[in-house]
Amino acid sequence: MKALFTTAALTLAAGFGTAQAADIEAGKAKASTVCASCHGINGIGATDGFPNLAGQKTAYLVSALKAYREGSRKAPIMNNMAANLGDADMENIAAYFASLKPTP
Q: What is the CATH number of the domain that holds 81?
A: 1.10.760.10
Q: What is the pLDDT of residue 26?
A: 98
2-24 pLDDT, tens digit each:
544 444 444 444 444 345 689 99
pTM over 0.95: no
Q: How far apart are CA 24 and CA 104, in angstroms?
A: 23
Which has more confidence, 12 or 33? 33
Q: How many domains does the chain have?
A: 1
Residue 63's domain spans which residues? 21-99
pLDDT on residue 4: 43
Average pLDDT over residues 56-61: 98
Task: From residue 55, give the alpha-carbon distance in Å to each of 11, 67, 84, 98.
Answer: 31, 20, 24, 4
User: Does a structural domain hold residue 1?
Assistant: no
Q: Examine residue 67 and state whether it is found in any structural domain, yes or no.
A: yes
Question: Does the residue 83 lie in any domain?
Answer: yes
* Cβ atoms 97, 43 nearer than 8 A: yes
Is 8 domain-assigned? Answer: no
In a domain, 6, yes or no: no
